[in-house]
Amino acid sequence: MEITQNMRTTAKDLMNFLDNSPTAGWAAKTAERMLEKKGFKKMDEKNSWKFSPGEKFYVKRGGTAIAAGIIGKKELQKSGFNIIGSHTDSPGFRLKSNSVYEKENYIQLGIEIYGGPLLASWTDRELSLAGKIVIEKDGELVPRMWKSGKNLLRIAQLPIHMNRKVNDEGLKLQKEKHLPPILGLAGKKEFTKEDLTEMIAEDMGVAKELIKEYDLELYDTQKASYLGIKNEFLASGRIDNLMMSYCAIEALANIDNIPEQTSVVVLFDNEEIGSNTMNGGGSPFLLNFLERIAISQGLDREDLLLTLANSFVLSADGAHAVHPNYPAEYEKRHKVELNKGPVIKLNAMQKYASNPVNTAYFKSLCEKLDIPHQIYIHRTDKPCGSTIGPITATRTGIRTMDVGPAMLSMHSVREMAGVADAWYMIQVMNEFFKDK
């Protein structure tokens, strides 16, 4: 296939999004900047809302989840919402509260595992810290986002001379003992949590005493990049699922005229740990957002239920591309590939929310644009992962469809996707928002 300049431009913008979003909080902040450049107004859940057709707006919850919308021309109860859902979090590591300690003359940080990362992929890489810092300002506690631009950390592997069987039996990591990263060499004075706080304060340009708490994550400092003989791939951390977060926000921001139907994007947090949080897919965040829009239009409870019955959700998350070294691990009649277009995800146990009617509808969007599409089904003898799709459908009762781009190395610190696939997804999302 030919990779066009438009596809490369989209891929480059996606890579910038990935580089600027080392954590869920940073992803929400980067999405917020994209929306504000296009005239979206920030709303507060603590205030009343009132909208007119064409108004653009967004709201954040917990600093890591964001929902945005544009009011359409048609009456909500007759047209419903067109919704795209994704998530901002990725598997990785988070610092424990009392994380700093010294061992064998090294300064190390205690970590907890978040989600299901491929642990071995995080070893022997240059890592750093990013996350939320709570500071005191004018007598109030104010969360601020911070990321270090330095290579601070490394999870060093044992040399092969002391682990002779590693290449035959694989790398075996005892989570509590083998994963704490090295921060530096110990000095004459013990390095403590206070010293780490002071380091952060100096980098932020605030007094150490003003930092009251923080929630920090490890991230890989290597930038997103092209890959392949023709630069047909891209490699980066957090492709799952910031690729779809970017595409959803970009598609919504692309709407220039007042749409027929009210268009919504929601980026949840905590999908990788089950979604059952105040800003995850299992929370009332989306339903609250939709109901607040309905109330702002003067609708009552029955009108809201009519609106939800006429609505549709595209749940957008990564799909497993066939791996050339492990083809037997995939269902042989449902293998999907990079740069071959959006993937429709099906599962009899409803780990994905797609059904025949919704599948036919999504296919029609692709065919209308002459965009290729693929179908993925997991092997019957392997457990299947899930998405926000079934959770959103259960929580809201809205028709939901699971789709996404094909990718390799899912949950690795460094994932891989096709350069064309972000552009393909945005085109279909654009058409979805236009659909009447």
Q: What's the pLDDT at 170?
A: 94
Question: Tell me: the pLDDT tens digits for 119-130?
Answer: 999 999 999 999
Q: Are residues 430 and 321 in the same domain?
A: yes
Kindly report the pTM of this predicted structure: 0.97
Q: What's the pLDDT at 363?
A: 98
For residue 399, pLDDT over 90 is answered with yes
Residue 228 lies in a domain: no
Q: What's the pLDDT at 435?
A: 72
Residue 119 lies in a domain: yes
Q: What's the pLDDT at 329?
A: 97
What's the CATH number where 168 sits?
Answer: 2.30.250.10
**Helical residues (DSSP H) of 275-418, grouped into ranges:** 285-296, 301-309, 356-368, 388-396
Q: Render 407-432 in DSSP notation, one character per residue.
A: EESTTSSSEEEEHHHHHHHHHHHHHH
Q: Are residues 339 and 393 in the same domain?
A: yes
Question: Tell me: the pLDDT tens digits for 194-246?
Answer: 999 999 999 999 999 999 999 999 999 999 999 999 999 999 999 999 999 99
Q: Are residues 287 and 422 in the same domain?
A: yes
To the nearest 10 degrees (0 to 180), the angle between helices 301-309 and 285-296 is 120
Q: For the chain, give the mean pLDDT.
A: 97
Residue 314 lies in a domain: yes
C-alpha span between 24 and 249 (Å, rounded):
15
For the record, the structure tokens of 197 come out as 């706080």
For residue 15, pLDDT over 70 is answered with yes
Q: What's the pLDDT at 436?
A: 59
Q: Are residues 78 and 102 in the same domain?
A: no
For residue 403, pLDDT over 70 is answered with yes
For the record, the structure tokens of 292 come out as 């607040």
Count structural domains, the chain. Answer: 2
Mean pLDDT within 355-371:
97
Residue 232 lies in a domain: no
What's the CATH number where 332 sits?
Answer: 3.40.630.10
Q: Are residues 281 and 172 in the same domain?
A: no
Q: What's the pLDDT at 1?
A: 75
Residue 318 lies in a domain: yes
Q: Are residues 140 and 259 in the same domain?
A: no
Residue 403 lies in a domain: yes
Q: Taking a C-beta distance cutoff of 8 angstroms, is the pair 233, 416 a contact?
A: yes
**Band (273; pLDDT cuts 50, 70, 90):** very high
**Which of these, 319, 323, 426, 435, lies nearest to 371 by C-alpha position?**
426
Peptide bond into 167 cis (omega under 30): no
Residue 226 lies in a domain: no
Mean pLDDT within 30-55:
96
Strand order in the sheet with 182-185: 140-147, 127-137, 211-220, 92-103, 106-114, 182-185
Q: Are residues 280 and 392 in the same domain?
A: yes
Q: Are residues 157 and 168 in the same domain?
A: yes
**Band (97; pLDDT cuts 50, 70, 90):** very high
Domain containing 24 equals 5-90+237-434
Residue 231 lies in a domain: no
Q: What per-residue string of b and e applies to 81-104 under the rule 16 or more CB within 10 Å gives b?
A: bbbbbbbbbbbbbebeeebbbbee
Q: Cα separations (Å) of 80 from 41, 43, 75, 341?
A: 22, 21, 8, 27
For the record, the structure tokens of 78 come out as 């007759």
Q: Are residues 265 and 401 in the same domain?
A: yes
Task: Give the residue from 172, 191, 220 where a domain finishes.
Answer: 220
For residue 99, pLDDT over 70 is answered with yes
Using DSSP bridges, classify how beta strands 415-418 and 406-408 pair: parallel, antiparallel or unpaired. antiparallel
Q: Are residues 374 and 290 in the same domain?
A: yes
Q: What's the pLDDT at 306?
A: 97
Q: Are residues 35 and 120 in the same domain?
A: no
For residue 301, pLDDT over 90 is answered with yes
Q: What's the pLDDT at 243?
A: 98
**Proportion of the chain above pLDDT 90, given as a percent:** 99
